[in-house]
Chains A and B, each alone.
Chain A
Amino acid sequence: MADTVVAREIPSVYEPSLFGTYSKKIGMWLFLMSDSLTFGALLYAYSYGRISTAGWPTPFHSESIVNATVMTAFLLTSSLTMVMAVRASVERNAKAQTLWLLATIACGAGFVILHGMEWSKLIAEGLTLPMFPAVPGHEVSAEFSSVAKSVPQFPSTFFTLTGMHMLHVTLGIVYLGVVALRRKFIPILLALWLIAWLATPSYSPFHYGVHVLLVAAIVISIILWLKPKVYDSSDVEVAGLYWHFVDLVWMFIFPLVYLMSARIL
Chain B
Amino acid sequence: MTAVLSDTALHIDGVSRFFGTGAARVQALDNVSLDVRSGEFLCLLGASGCGKSTLLGLIAGLDAPTTGTVDTTGRRTGMMFQDSALLPWLTAGGNVEVPMRLRGIRRPERRARVDELLAMVRLAGMADRRPHELSGGMRQRVSLARAFAQEADILCMDEPFGALDAMTRDLLHDELERIWRQTGVTVIFVTHDVREAVRLGDRIVLLSSRPGRVAEVFDVDIDRPRRIDSTRVAELATRVTTRLREEVGRHGH
Q: Do A and B bind each other?
A: no
Residues of A at the B interface (CB closer than 8 Å) are none
* Residues of chain B at the chain A interface (Cβ within 8 Å): none
